[in-house]
Amino acid sequence: MPPELPDLNRIAVLGATGSIGTSCLDVIAAHGSRLKAVALTAHRSWEVLAAQCHQHKPHFAVISDPSVRASIGGNAFPSGTEVRFGPEGLEEIASHPEIDTVVCGIVGAAGLRGAWAAVESGKRVAIANKETLVVAGPLVMHLAAKTGACLIPVDSEHSAIFQGLQAGRRRDLKRIVLTASGGPFRGWSKERQEREVTVERALAHPTWQMGPKITVDSATMMNKSLEVIEARWLFDLEIEQIAVTIHPQSIVHSFVEFLDGSVLAQLSPPDMKLPIQYALTYPERWSGTSPTMNWTQPCQLEFLPADFDAFPALKLGFEVAKQGGTCGAVLNAANEVAVGRFLEGKLKFTEIAQACRDILIGHNFDASPTLTDLLRLDGWARQEMQQWKSLQSI
Ligand code: NDP
Ligand code: MG
């Protein structure tokens, strides 16, 4: 049974200052009579957050990095907004009785804390932060089943699958096919990537405007790996039921295939406002703020096989999704640090996947870890990746 949509959906946007967060606020602003931003959070970008608070007049704002406090002027925030500092504030608002829906738009494993609190308190949870499911998918889904929280994906592929699944009985599902744009280096060999990839090129995604971490993940195709793991737990699938195809136009957001061979797709121009809005209005559909398909213009859609040799990060995702246990937390943490080191010029692009594999192999695998085990391993994998050196540079 889909959850009932309240007449006024009171929303907390975790990561309001990011790419997902600002798109989410655009959606809220466009539907002011039915959607209300009641709480907004940022990590350090307090000026942007303050401007958002002047526009949306939320009751609460959270700045999760408390060290920022000293630099904020007395009148920066509107008088009706209570400002809290520190990561505890994320949990407090994610579980607050004044909130119906929590949008998880924080980047990285830092998003787990707020997402967990939202699931624990049985909210409607619009989950963009795929890392939450990569790190602790089985635990999060188990908790949601217990509390009655409704997890609605925001990631465009998972939103497409969530929508496609409504067309048939769950037991008649054969498999899902996640589409991937292929990123800026689609068609490049590993050798060409080694020679020609720069930070600037990796940050220039051909079809999507996103934050830097996910943009680099799209270039290595680690993003698709994280999405394979996300899909496995979110939709309770066997790894054999998940496939990936390269679709450079980013118009078909994914496919659902049923036992009779019927394949259902969800199409729309690449714009995150659509899946964000759907997560806020489900099971209703409202006229949107995103561009729509123009069928008077020619439109070509291509589907190509994924190149697992040129993009070893993709292979890693399937392996990790199959093994489960502690692998997701280790891969995610190692990748977060590797992406940071790549952006600082301290790691080569092609070393990201290699280093992640090394750290995965070196970890103490546990098939059914607790949340505490996962958080400890997250810290361990981060340290290992900080120290990782390629054989060439030793
Ligand atoms: P951005 O980098 O644009 O924004 C990240 C947000 O998280 C900002 O509000 C930032 O605050 C906040 N933040 C960063 N670090 C912390 C921290 N340690 N603690 C608390 N808050 C923090 O990211 P995106 O919007 O691109 O991505 C957000 C999530 O959504 C990711 O998990 C990504 O994989 C997923 N996603 C994104 C898509 C997109 O189109 N962008 C598409 C599909 C999924 P501050 O501004 O103060 O740094
Ligand atoms: Mg996606």
Which domains are seen in the chain, by residue range? 9-154+272-281 (3.40.50.720), 162-263+302-387 (1.10.1740.10)
- Residue 164, pLDDT score: 98
The confidence score (pLDDT) of residue 391 equals 57
Q: In the Cβ-directed half-sphere of 150, how many Cα atoms lie within 13 Å?
A: 15
The answer, yes or no, to whether any atom of ligand 1 lies below 6 A from the CB of 211, is yes
Q: Are 208 and 270 in contact (CB under 8 A)?
A: yes
Give Cβ neighbours of residue 108 (< 8 Å, ≥ 6 apart).
Answer: 129, 131, 213, 332, 336
Please report, in tens digits, the pLDDT of each residue of the chain (394 residues total). Answer: 778 899 999 999 999 999 999 999 999 999 999 999 999 999 999 999 999 999 999 999 999 999 999 999 889 999 999 999 999 999 999 999 999 999 999 999 999 999 999 999 999 999 999 999 999 999 999 999 999 999 999 999 999 999 999 999 999 999 999 999 999 999 999 999 999 999 999 999 998 889 999 999 999 999 999 999 999 999 999 999 999 999 999 999 999 999 999 999 999 999 999 999 999 999 999 997 899 999 999 999 999 999 999 999 999 999 999 999 999 999 999 999 999 999 999 999 999 999 999 999 999 999 999 999 999 999 999 999 999 987 555 5
pTM of the model: 0.97
Q: Please tell me the distance between residue 155's alpha carbon and the centre of ligand 2 in angstroms.
A: 5
The predicted structure's pLDDT at residue 389: 85
Question: For residue 127, which ligand has an atom nearest its CA?
Answer: 1
The CB of 205 under 6 Å from ligand 1? The reply is no
The predicted pLDDT at position 393 comes to: 56
Asked if residue 218 has its Cβ within 6 Å of ligand 1, the reply is no
CA of 114 to the centre of ligand 1 (A): 13
φ/ψ of residue 191, rounded to 5: -65, -40
Q: Which residues of 135-149 are buried (b: 16+ CB within 10 A; e: fewer)?
A: bbbbbbbebbeeeeb
Going through 43-172 in order, the beta strands assigned E by DSSP cover 60-63, 82-85, 101-104, 124-127, 150-153
Q: Cα(270) to centroid of ligand 2, in Å? A: 10
d(CA 84, CA 147): 27
Answer yes or no: are the C-beta atoms of 49 and 42 closer than 8 Å. Answer: yes
For residue 156, the ligand closest to its alpha carbon is 2
Ligand 1 atom closest to the Cα of residue 210 is 41
Rounded Cα distance, 245 and 320, in Å:
19
- Enumerate residues with CB within 5 Å of ligand 2 (an ion): 155-157
d(CA 1, CA 13): 25
Q: Please tell me the distance from the alpha carbon of residue 140 to that of residue 125, in angstroms, as a whole number.
A: 11
The label of the residue with tokens 């401007």 reads: 51
Select from 62, 71, 106, 203 the residue to mutate for testing ligand 1; criterion: most ligand atoms less than 8 Å from CB.
106
Query: Quick one: CA dihedral 332, 279, 147, 113, positive or negative?
Result: positive
Per the CB < 8 A criterion, the answer to whether 161 and 257 are in contact is no
Both tokens of residue 12? 């907390």
